[in-house]
Amino acid sequence: MNRILIALSASFALGGCLLSPGTFSSELHLYSDERFSFAYDGEIEMLALSQLAQMNRASEERFEAECYDEDYEVRECSEAEIAAQRAEWEETAGERAAERVREAEMLRQFVGSIDPSDPQAAQEIATRLERQRGWEKFEYRGDGLFDVSFVTAGTLTHDFVFPTVEGMPGANAFVSINLRDGGEVRVDAPAFAAGKEEPSWGTASFAALAAMAQAEESGEAPRIVVPQGTFTIVTDGRILANNTDEGPKPHARGQSLRWNVGPSTQQPPTALVAFD
């Protein structure tokens, strides 16, 4: 079961979800004089690192027979069943090893020049980001999970995407800001949702993700980081559209929009703001 879940979770990284937020707080300010600021504090998971860690642990697991009754409840195996399962496990050892190599190589294709199987890969990523403007903290906690703090501010004369990682072409956007003609600004936060009604990797894989989260609670599956936190937009512009639950609220600098992201969040935050 763990091997199946690990392979499925690896497919999420290959489906374009290389980076994922964990527990976080994020805030975006947009103003009519084109000034903006953005901050993200919390966790970021790099799935290539976390899934390779799970694969490596799986490769070190010892044989354990598993037997179930008609109700799919765990039961004690007979000696004959243990022998049969052990023979099959030993016979497919080469296939499992080859599959791990294949999955690891596929993951590497999405992280550019970084080798996620290298024990120093996490430190290499941290070193790269330390020299990128805006990253105030990037500390590795293990199993692909980082504690980070990112802050930037300036004049919004061009589109903006967070995060970007030097030398990692497969990094996916948590938040994107797109400038439109007529003084309109569209904000999307595609990663700030635990569930997506139309996931890019397909409904079957999304169901598998739910199964993994359920299995994780019983300690039988790899850890799955789920986005959990808040995303806030503060602006003095006109809010033309948004998908918050409560709509715009008064703020000292104009209006604010707030999204509470958790396991039940289905739609990623989005807003359209106009500056006349």
> Which residues have a Cβ under 8 Å from the Cβ of 193 and sit 6 or more positions away?
227, 261, 265, 266, 267, 268, 269
Q: Taking the model in full, what pTM does it have?
A: 0.70
Computed from CA positions of residues 206, 209, 211, 214, in that sequence, does the dihedral angle turn out positive or negative? Answer: negative
> Which residues have a Cβ under 8 Å from the Cβ of 170 and sit 6 or more positions away?
16, 18, 109, 110, 111, 112
Q: What is the pLDDT of residue 201?
A: 38
CA-based nearest residue to 15, from 203, 263, 265: 203
Q: What is the pLDDT of residue 178?
A: 97
Along the 276 residues of the chain, how does pLDDT read in single tens digits? 444 444 444 444 444 457 889 999 999 999 999 999 999 999 998 876 655 545 555 555 678 889 998 888 899 999 999 999 999 988 888 887 777 667 666 655 555 555 555 667 777 778 878 888 999 998 888 877 889 999 999 999 999 999 988 776 667 899 999 999 999 999 999 999 875 444 443 333 444 444 444 444 444 445 567 899 999 999 999 999 999 999 999 999 999 999 999 988 889 999 999 998
How are beta strands 145-155 and 35-46 bridged, if at all? antiparallel
Q: What are the domain boundaries of the chain? A: 2-274
> What are the tokens at 91?
């016979």
Please say whether the beta carbons of 75 and 37 come within 8 A. no
| Cα angle value 76/80/82 (rounded, 5°) | 55
Q: What is the pLDDT of residue 6?
A: 46
